[in-house]
Amino acid sequence: MRRRVRAASALLGSIMGSMMIACSAAESPGVAATAGASRPATVAAATAGNTTVQNATDLRALLIAGRTPVRLEAVAADLGCPAEGCGAWVDGLVIWRDSGRITDTARRALLTVTRLPDRAPDVDWTPLDSQKVFAAGKRWGTCLEFTHTGLGKSGRFQRWTSVVLVPWADGKPGASAYRFVGYWTGCDSLTEGPVAGEVTLPQIEAPLPAEPNANITPRLVQHICTASACRTQADSRPVNFVQGSETGAMRVGG
């Protein structure tokens, strides 16, 4: 028997690297473009300079300022444990809790591509939130949010989440799913990309492991995703944690 749950939206995230990286489906995250619905109004541009953000809502507003958000439509997940294992059935997908595999309902496995996998924490594969994504007036795909296991559920680590994007093709989930880990991030940070049919996910992530201060200096990046791949662009605005902040506040820019 399955039980239906409405995934609660939450913005947490992870730190991961930036650099201009053209991501093929075999390398870094990529996403496919399908979609459907009207374009929402562009968010007002933010004030230039140094901005302190105190919470996920403030950060989202800053990162998507001046851009057009995609249209999201919440979709419920059915949780169940058939003979083959426990999982979540959502929007034409099955997320298998114990293995972390993602399949379609016909059990065709999707290739899950994780950006900078050596920096990515383990996932709790029960979706925290699930959304249908519409861009450029069409159905684009599915966005899923997940928390992390172990320490990922406690204290300051709860501010990190994984966002998984599944582009659609021919009216159904495509062949790949793309995982990004970010700080205070979620599906509602998605915006229309620079070209019709693309979507952009702005995120704060950690530098690459080989770089100085890799454990303490986060970066701002933009993941721009098409039907077949994503490219990751560095954002020039510096990002730093506010020393002594108990809420996880950050300074962005300036």
Cα 152 to Cα 129: distance, rounded to the nearest angstrom: 17
Say if residues 164 and 176 touch (Cβ distance below 8 Å): no
Query: Whose CA is closest to 225, among 208, 200, 246, 253?
Result: 200
At 184 the three-state DSSP class reads coil
**What does the pLDDT read at residue 4?**
58
**How much is the pTM?**
0.79
| CA 220 from centroid of its chain's CA atoms | 14
**What does the pLDDT read at residue 28?**
36
Write out residues in the chain with pLDDT < 70, as ranges: 1-49, 151-155, 207-216, 254
Residue 121: exposure state from Cβ atoms within 10 A (0-12, 13-18, ≥19): middle
**What does the pLDDT read at residue 209?**
52
- In angstroms, the Cα distances linking 121 to 15, 114, 118, 149 are 10, 11, 8, 8
- b vs e for 41-75, b when ≥16 Cβ sit within 10 Å of the residue's Cβ? eebeeeeeeebebeebebbbebbbbebbbbbbeeb
Cα 120 to Cα 113: distance, rounded to the nearest angstrom: 11
**What does the pLDDT read at residue 48?**
47
**What does the pLDDT read at residue 119?**
79
First to last CA, the chain: 54
Cα 21 to Cα 73: distance, rounded to the nearest angstrom: 30
Q: Alpha-carbon torsion 107, 78, 93, 96, what sign?
A: negative
- The DSSP code for 41 is P
